Structure 1
Amino acid sequence: MRKSMRFLVTVSVITLILLSSHWEVAGMALPPPEDTPEEILRTQIIIEARSPIDGKPLTAAEYAELQAQLQKAPPPQLTTKIREQVFLLRIRKTLLQLFPFLNL
C-alpha cells in the first residue's frame, strides 16, 4: 500500500511539472498583442508599394506605371549576326543531345 501511494505521488508530481513547463512554452508561442491579425491585413487596401528595381517607396500610380514599363519588351541589343550564331548553337546542342554520335 505504501509503495503504491509513493508511486502515485511521484507520477502526480512528474505530471504537474511536465504540464506546467508545457504551459509556459504555449504562452510564449502567442504573437505580441500589438501585431495586427492576418484576417484584418487581408481586408486592407494596399495604397503604397516598393519599386522592384531599387526598393524605393512608390505610390500606386507610380507602381502601375513602372509595371507597364517593365512589361514592354526592350529592343534587341544584339546584332543580327550574333543572334543567328546563338540560334545555330542551340540547334547544334539539340542535335548532339538527340544524336551523340554526330561529330558536329
Structure 2
Amino acid sequence: MTPAIWGGLLSAGLVMEVPTALPEEIPEEVLRTEVIVEARSPLDGSSLTAAEYAQLMEQLEDGSGPPEVSPQLRETVFLLRFRKLIRTLIPFAPL
C-alpha cells in the first residue's frame, strides 16, 4: 500500500493504533490468594482488624444458643400458627 492510502485509512479511522502498553490488571489467580487483613463488624459495620474481628466472632458464638422463651409465649405462638393452618385449610371456619 502506498503512503497516501495509509494516510487516508488512518484519517478515516479504519486503522487504529495499537496501545503500546496494556493497563495493569491483577490476575484473578493472584486476587484469590490475597489474605484479607481488615473486616467489617456484623453489628454496626465499623472497620475492624483481623484480630478484632476474630475476637468479636468468638464473643458472638459464646451465646449462640436459642434464646429462652417463656412457656406461655411459646404456647401462644403455637396456637396462632395452628389457627393459621386451620384457616388455610378451612377458610370459612369462624375462628
Return the TM-score normalized by structure 1: 0.53
Unpaired stretches in structure 2, ≥5 consecutive residues:
1-8
Alignment RMSD (CA, Å): 3.2
Identity rate, percent: 53
Specify which of 85, 93, 96 is matched with residue 84 of structure 2. 93
Is 1:56 equivalent to 2:46 in the alignment? yes
Runs of 4 or more consecutive aligned structure 1 residues displaced over 6 Å after TM superposition: none
CA, structure 1 residues 62+79, in 2 after alignment: closer, same or farther (shift >3 Å)? same
Deviations 1:49-100 (A, max 9, x none): 1112112222223222322333413633x54323321221011101111222
Q: Name the aligned partner's letter for residue 49 of structure 2.
A: T
Q: Greater helix percent: which structure?
A: 1
In the alignment, structure 1 segments of 5+ residues that lack a partner are 1-12
Give the aligned partner of residue 5 of structure 2: none
State TM-score, norm by structure 2. 0.57
